[in-house]
Amino acid sequence: MKQKENILIIGAGLCGSLLALRLAQRGYFVNVYEMRPDLRKTDISAGRSINLAFSDRGNKAMKLVGLENKVKSLCIPMHGRMIHTKEGETFLSNYSGREHEYINSVSRGELNALLLTEAEKHENVNIYFNRKCKSVDFENTTALFKDYEDKTEFVEDADCIIATDGAGSALRKSYYLGKKFLFSFSQNYLTHGYKELSILPTETGDYKTYKNALHIWPRGDFMLIALPNLDGSFTVTLFLSYTEGKYNFNNLTTPEIVTKFFKNEFRDALKIMPNLVEDFFKNPTAALGTIKCSPWHYKGNTLLMGDAAHAIVPFYGQGMNASFEDVVEFDSVLNQNKNADWQTIFSAYEKTRKKDTDAIADLALDNFNEMRDHVGQAIFQEKRKIEMALEKEFPEDYTSKYSLVTFNENIGYKEAMLKGRAQDKAILNLLSNKLISTNDKTSTILEKVKKETEVILNENRIAGL
Amino acid sequence: MKQKENILIIGAGLCGSLLALRLAQRGYFVNVYEMRPDLRKTDISAGRSINLAFSDRGNKAMKLVGLENKVKSLCIPMHGRMIHTKEGETFLSNYSGREHEYINSVSRGELNALLLTEAEKHENVNIYFNRKCKSVDFENTTALFKDYEDKTEFVEDADCIIATDGAGSALRKSYYLGKKFLFSFSQNYLTHGYKELSILPTETGDYKTYKNALHIWPRGDFMLIALPNLDGSFTVTLFLSYTEGKYNFNNLTTPEIVTKFFKNEFRDALKIMPNLVEDFFKNPTAALGTIKCSPWHYKGNTLLMGDAAHAIVPFYGQGMNASFEDVVEFDSVLNQNKNADWQTIFSAYEKTRKKDTDAIADLALDNFNEMRDHVGQAIFQEKRKIEMALEKEFPEDYTSKYSLVTFNENIGYKEAMLKGRAQDKAILNLLSNKLISTNDKTSTILEKVKKETEVILNENRIAGL
């Protein structure tokens, strides 16, 4: 192996372990420091989503590192949303009119373990657990760590440091507190939080409800979702306001109130959740926030990646996929900048990538608002119906915003957002002006939607939007 | 005077001194702590804009406290923008088609001094200078100060604390670092900074260029502006990128380069700025940032107001006006919530006010982008021409975005933004689709613009924008 630089990665979560693997494949010497114990030896899932939506952008990264098939064996396909009404009726709404397009439920822990194991197969990778990064000296490219085992502190240096240490990133905090340069930064919390619950398997290990869907109990201001696990269970998440509405996290204080809330709102879920009260009071309530910042890098010394650079709310199922796509994009920048210094590489990476991570952050918020405000409106239901018909009859000619974001890994999030939002607006305009209806011929609708979309995109271009 | 509560105000800038005056008029006991020396006794203008645009929203606040006439004597009316081309040609572009609508240049120092003096006329107001707030204990409603005179630290308590301590607010920092509640926060810097320069009076004390205008030398990626002062001088501000472009703050490092830059770009200005080089290297380069946050208050204990809650970039000339309007809105919330506790008052104030301060922040950024990207485009010049004609011929029926924001103090910024943006888009759509032209009859244009604006607003409503 030829002489290559030393890279220090802070954080061995999904993004950090994938990045370590890919940089190892490229021949770099990689040291990874993780604050948590090795999740392959300890159960440390508490308080974090234990399964996640995995889709085409994430899969592109798995292809890049040669793990597509291994990851597939961890995946449970979810072809659509199984919507549960208040009365307990269910109906399946596919994610796409194209049958081969679906998302997957995957265990965060299993996937992370696979990536760690694959990274460690490279002798140029070392992963150290129980080492928490406390701060980064980005002028001198060193990081200060606390060793949780022997309680000592130590400093590591490297040719460059990449922080994939999540929403609470130590490097990002050092950028902010350092005041050495103009650091644009935002943390925006929703008024809603979330809590994880569970639907356990039957005694014989079977799924208590339909396996191949993302179950959703939309109730306007709050909702419950459930994603399947390989062991027959579902991980259930309750999204609810902290303080507003008849029921909220602040007033769900007793087993009686929690049970009453579920009996009123999620009756069919409650029937298969005998463990509800125990879960509810055992598991923490966590916040939902969006983090954006810039610059991501300081000279050629340090770089933020993954949630450390751009944490998003979970309503598009793209958090992990976006972080995996970071690694794909970074790899592509490395290919295009052979022999360049790290400053050039980091600059080029942020320039190409940031517009897309900003876009997925905004799209995820769009979806939160859409689910709260629009789910019950007739015009939005008509729009969804039209889009499914268009995708089904003209799979080559029409792609909904959801499909552009989720299944089109070769279109950036920003482009998907601009086109997707214009299409949505086009359909809504045409519906509200009665220029189309769900009874029209799909080919007629397609033509009108395409034309109106072009008009909207052009007007936005002129207005400089 | 009946028993009233004690209010501690942090910061005796424009917002803090106005707030102190108004609360004193309402009968509260007010203690104000300011980190700087008394500006009526010391010249401390360095590094801050020494004149500002004062318009109708700010004037509404002056009316409220009975100072309209006193402030008028400090004002120099500016009826429009005097645009200076690269070749040194000038033309005046009025701010409004209505002659009585204009903005004013006012000295920050003089206005602040007036407000301090008026506040101190009330025996229930005490203002302490040279006391810097270091942090606020918002659970216990106390603030820690450093006395710059005797170097001691001391703690003050009050029934409630209102921080008007500007973009670097100590209370906001305490909210952020305290992590006691979910605090949404953003600081976003432009890639441009600014530097203050000057055009001095003639030897006989006259103005060297036209007095009653805001002079502007727009050059796409950078610009120079100048506002008149009462003493015959102009305060000049250069807005320029830190790092991009042929000339930027990073490479303007010698008197020769600075002079060459001005000779190339601002030839007519250079002729009346013999002191350019001295100013340039004496005065600091400052950053341009937007700050948003929420919540502004913690229980009924503490509240952020003015720049401390919502600092904006200067491109709409609304920074001071927005902070003054804060006091008007707060006063109105006090009127509507007689006998309510502070928590109720602070909540009601943020609920009614935040949407508007968010909007003016976005509008100010709009203007930055407009000046950079659009100033040279024919379609934007046609739009401006049409708007001036509409305002002139139909002063009651058409109000441009600029006028809605600047001269219509009874319309909130949010409403002004939504309507103003829709109107702008309507005119651009109609122009680009050749449905109107600058040669059409103004009444025909008005009708079409109004109709198209309604269509756009309606479509936005349906799309949930």
Residue of B nearest to A288 (CA): B182
At B197, is the pLDDT very low, low, confident or very high (cuts 50, 70, 90)?
Answer: very high
Across the interface, whether the CB atoms of B429 and A186 are under 8 A apart is answered no
- Residue A392: CB atoms within 10 A of its CB come to 15
pLDDT value at residue B47? 43
pLDDT at residue B172 is higher than 70? yes
Task: Compare CB distances from B432 to A424, A428, A462 and report the shortest one's residue.
Answer: A462
Task: Compare CB distances from B374 to A424, A458, A464 and report the shortest one's residue.
Answer: A464
Calculate mean pLDDT across residues B30-53: 82
pLDDT at residue A47 is higher than 90? no
pLDDT at residue B173 is higher than 50? yes
Structure token digits, residue A372: 């709260």
Å from B199 to nearest chain A CA?
A: 30
What's the distance, CA A33 to chain centroid? 23
Mutate to test the interface with B, among A182, A427, A434 (most CBs of B within 10 A): A182
The whole-angstrom separation of Cα A395 and Cα A52 is 27
Residues in CB range of B302: below 8 A, 6 or more apart: B136, B138, B141, B160, B161, B162, B163, B171
Å from B4 to nearest chain A CA?
A: 31
Written as one letter, the residue type at A330 is: F
Task: Compare CB distances from A188 to B186, B287, B424 and report the shortest one's residue.
Answer: B186
Across the interface, whether the CB atoms of B185 and A184 are under 8 A apart is answered no
Give residue-wise pLDDT tens across range A137-167.
999 999 999 999 999 999 999 999 999 999 9
At B50, is the pLDDT very low, low, confident or very high (cuts 50, 70, 90)?
Answer: confident
Task: Compare CB distances from A184 to B189, B432, B459 and report the shortest one's residue.
Answer: B189
Contact residues on chain A for B369, CB-CB shorter than 8 A? 464
Residues in CB range of B357: below 8 A, 6 or more apart: B292, B309, B310, B312, B322, B326, B413
Q: What DSSP state is assigned to residue A438?
A: T
Do the bridges between strand B76-78 and strand B103-107 make them parallel or antiparallel, or are there none, so unpaired?
antiparallel
- Residue B102: CB atoms within 10 A of its CB come to 21
First to last CA, chain B: 49
Contact residues on chain A for B292, CB-CB shorter than 8 A? 186
pLDDT at residue A122 is higher than 80? yes
Q: What 3-state class would DSSP assign to A94?
A: strand
Across the interface, whether the CB atoms of B186 and A187 are under 8 A apart is answered yes
At A375, is the pLDDT very low, low, confident or very high (cuts 50, 70, 90)?
Answer: low
Mutate to test the interface with A, among B184, B290, B417, B429 (most CBs of A within 10 A): B184
pLDDT value at residue B49? 54
Structure token digits, residue B58: 């700010």
Give residue-wise pLDDT tens across range A9-30.
999 999 999 999 999 999 999 9
Contact residues on chain B for A432, CB-CB shorter than 8 A? 458-459, 462
ipTM: 0.89
Q: Residues of chain B with pLDDT > 70: what percent?
A: 97
Mutate to test the interface with A, among B172, B179, B182 (most CBs of A within 10 A): B182
Contact residues on chain B for A424, CB-CB shorter than 8 A? 463
The answer to whether residues B235 and B246 touch, using CB atoms and an 8 Å cutoff, is no
Tell me what percent of chain A is helix, strand and coil, each rounded to the nearest 5: 40, 25, 35
Q: Residues of chain A with pLDDT > 90: what percent?
A: 88
Å from A233 to nearest chain B CA?
A: 32
Across the interface, whether the CB atoms of A463 and B182 are under 8 A apart is answered no
CA distances from A425 to A130, A383, A395, A401, B343 (A): 49, 10, 20, 11, 40
First to last CA, chain A: 49
pLDDT at residue B56 is higher than 90? yes
Calculate mean pLDDT across residues A116-122: 98
Indicate the helix (H) or strand (E) that contains A435: none
Cis peptide before A274 (omega within 30 of 0): no
Å from A80 to nearest chain B CA?
A: 24
Across the interface, whether the CB atoms of A459 and B432 are under 8 A apart is answered yes
What's the sign of the alpha-carbon dihedral B341, B343, B348, B353? positive
At A1, is the pLDDT very low, low, confident or very high (cuts 50, 70, 90)?
Answer: very low
pLDDT value at residue B457? 94
Tokens 């309606």 belong to residue: B458
pLDDT value at residue B376? 65
pLDDT value at residue B375? 62
Task: Compare CB distances from B428 to A242, A429, A463 and report the shortest one's residue.
Answer: A463
pLDDT at residue A33 is higher than 80? yes
pLDDT at residue A326 is higher than 50? yes
pLDDT at residue B46 is higher than 60? no
Indicate left, alpha or beta for B317 from its phi (over 0: left) and psi (-120 to 50: alpha).
left
pLDDT value at residue A43? 67
Written as one letter, the residue type at A258 is: V
Show the beta-strand stretches assigned E in A76-233. 76-78, 80-84, 90-94, 103-107, 125-128, 131-137, 142-147, 153-157, 160-163, 184-199, 214-218, 223-228
pLDDT value at residue A128? 98
Mutate to test the interface with B, among A456, A459, A460, A461 (most CBs of B within 10 A): A459
Give residue-wise pLDDT tens across range B455-465.
999 988 888 77
Across the interface, whether the CB atoms of A462 and B428 are under 8 A apart is answered yes
The whole-angstrom separation of Cα B459 and Cα A133 is 49
Cis peptide before A295 (omega within 30 of 0): yes
Q: Please list the residues that pair with A144 across neighbouring strands.
A: A135, A155
Contact residues on chain B for A184, CB-CB shorter than 8 A? 186-189, 289
Tell me what percent of chain B is helix, strand and coil, each rounded to the nearest 5: 40, 25, 35
What's the sign of the alpha-carbon dihedral B237, B241, B243, B248? negative
pLDDT at residue A104 is higher than 80? yes
Q: What DSSP state is assigned to residue A237?
A: E
Å from B374 to nearest chain A CA?
A: 8
CA distances from A436 to A4, A375, A382, A440, A446 (A): 61, 21, 10, 7, 10
pLDDT value at residue B145? 98
The whole-angstrom separation of Cα A363 and Cα A361 is 6
Written as one letter, the residue type at B422 is: A
pLDDT value at residue A78? 97
Nearest to residue B380, comparing CAs of B216, B241, B264, B220? Answer: B220
pLDDT at residue B372 is higher than 80? no
Contact residues on chain A for B370, CB-CB shorter than 8 A? 464
Q: What DSSP state is assigned to residue B436?
A: -
At B4, is the pLDDT very low, low, confident or very high (cuts 50, 70, 90)?
Answer: confident
- Residue B400: CB atoms within 10 A of its CB come to 23
pLDDT at residue B3 is higher than 60? no
Residue of A nearest to B431 (CA): A462
Q: What DSSP state is assigned to residue B123?
A: T
Across the interface, whether the CB atoms of A287 and B182 are under 8 A apart is answered yes
Task: Compare CB distances from A188 to B184, B369, B464 and report the shortest one's residue.
Answer: B184
Across the interface, whether the CB atoms of A186 and B183 are under 8 A apart is answered no
pLDDT at residue B407 is higher than 70? yes
Q: Please list the residues that pair with A339 across neighbouring strands.
A: none
pLDDT value at residue A460? 87
Interface of B with A (CB under 8 A): 182-189, 242, 287, 289, 292, 369-370, 373-374, 379, 424-425, 428-429, 432, 458-459, 462-464
Residue of A nearest to B289 (CA): A184
Structure token digits, residue B127: 């203002």
Calculate mean pLDDT across residues A122-134: 98
Across the interface, whether the CB atoms of A184 and B188 are under 8 A apart is answered yes
The whole-angstrom separation of Cα B226 and Cα B237 is 6
Across the interface, whether the CB atoms of A289 and B379 are under 8 A apart is answered no
The answer to whether residues B51 and B107 touch, using CB atoms and an 8 Å cutoff, is yes
The whole-angstrom separation of Cα A227 and Cα B424 is 46
pLDDT value at residue A50? 85
**DSSP one-letter string for A185-202:** EEEEEEEEEEEEEEEPPP
Report the 3 state secondary structure along A294-362.
Answer: ECCEECCCEEECCHHHHCCCHHHCCHHHHHHHHHHHHHHHHHHCCCCCHHHHHHHHHHHHHHHHHHHHH
Indicate left, alpha or beta for B29 from its phi (over 0: left) and psi (-120 to 50: alpha).
beta
Calculate mean pLDDT across residues A127-132: 98
pLDDT at residue B309 is higher than 60? yes
Across the interface, whether the CB atoms of B188 and A186 are under 8 A apart is answered yes
Give residue-wise pLDDT tens across range B208-251.
999 999 999 999 899 999 999 999 999 999 999 999 999 999 99
- Average per-residue pLDDT in chain B? 94
Calculate mean pLDDT across residues A157-180: 96
**DSSP one-letter string for B370-412:** HHHHTTT-HHHHHHHHHHHHHHHH-TTT---HHHHHHH-TTS-
